[in-house]
Amino acid sequence: MSQTIRLVLSESTRAQLIRLQNNESTEEIIYTKVADHIEKKSPANAAILRRIAAEEGRHARIWQTYTGVPSRPNTKKILRTVLLARLLGFTFAMKRMESGEERAQKVYAQLYDQIPEAAEIRADEDRHEAALLELLDEERLHYVGSMVLGLNDALVELTGTLAGLTFAMQDNQLVALSGLITGASATLSMASSEYLSARSEGRSDALKSSVYTGIAYLLTVVLLILPYLLLPAGAWLSSLGIMLCTAVLIIAGFTYYISVAQGLSFRHRFAEMASISLGVAVISFVIGLLVKQFLGIDL
């Protein structure tokens, strides 16, 4: 039967089926490899990923009955996605991969008249696999609130502080020195505050929560101060511009990570965080300029 069907399929339809088959086979390998990697640490999550891999493999075999050619998995995509899962977490990598595939869902609708199984496979993609992905339970995502606290506080405080210091001092070395001292003390203060807050709530993970907060804060501090350390002392205006661009990129990157991993709106969260951080920076520009002009302080 499949041989007869293959003879009546147009070349464009058959090419579409081959792409779908290769993609399903690629994702089967990705899910399996990630499941192997997390098996010991998180057997429940590994079991979920294996169930999705089995679905992808079944889909690939259905398409193969129509194409009559073996699958050719995308090696680059496999390596890239598996590496991403190890660096940024399997929940982010898996959901990012599936959200990227949503753009190709309209291809299934074009196959309904010719391929009876197309509707069934699309239903699997839309419902079953999405539901399974929602069951993933990754430790680092439990501490998103702590990371947001550290990241947002560092962005608001440091962009404002560095902006004010830049206009007041107009010297990269002095700004970097002041920023490092401020950032280091603020990191310790924020981490300890998070620890005490979690302890007061009776949480057993207070230390881990404070570590996530401190790391997010410290990394943000380092990235924001870096332009002042790398550029010449007199290039304070350029350092200021790079610092603000870095702040926007940090907000965009972290917001994208959270929006993918937790299925949230990217635009709303990005606009909110960016407006707060840059708004504080603008106010600090003015304060720094006023201090230098009217108080007669010149360093």
Rounded distance between C-alpha atoms, residue 252 and residue 245, angstroms: 11
The Cα-based distances of 159 to 87, 110, 219, 220, 229 in angstroms read 27, 51, 14, 10, 15
Q: What is the pLDDT of residue 112?
A: 67
Helix (H) or strand (E) holding 162: helix 144-169
8 A C-beta contact, residue 162 and residue 243 = yes
DSSP string over 31-89: HHHHHHHHTTT-HHHHHHHHHHHHHHHHHHHHHHHHH-S-----HHHHHHHHHHHHHH-
| Mean pLDDT split into 10-residue runs, the chain, 299 residues | 51 84 92 91 87 90 89 94 88 79 62 74 71 67 71 78 81 90 87 84 82 87 92 89 88 83 78 77 71 62
- Residue 67 to residue 134: CA distance in whole angstroms: 32
Number of Cβ atoms within 10 Å of the Cβ of 291: 14
Spatial CA neighbour of 248 closest among 268, 271, 264, 265: 271
As assigned by CATH, the class of the 2-138 domain is: mainly alpha
**DSSP type of residue 299:** -
Residue 163 is predicted with a pLDDT of: 80
Residue 150's contacts (CB-CB under 8 Å, 6 or more residues apart) are: 190, 191, 194, 212, 213, 214, 215, 216, 217, 220
Query: Which residues make up the CATH 1.20.1260 domain(s) of the chain?
Result: 2-138
Burial grade of 1 (CB within 10 A; 0-12, 13-18, 19 or more): exposed
pLDDT value of residue 1: 43
How many helices (H) and strands (E) would you count in the chain?
14, 0
pTM of the model: 0.70
Residue 296 has a pLDDT of 60
- Classify residue 182 by burial, with Cβ atoms within 10 Å: 0-12, 13-18, 19+: middle
Q: Tell me which DSSP letter residue 257 carries.
A: H
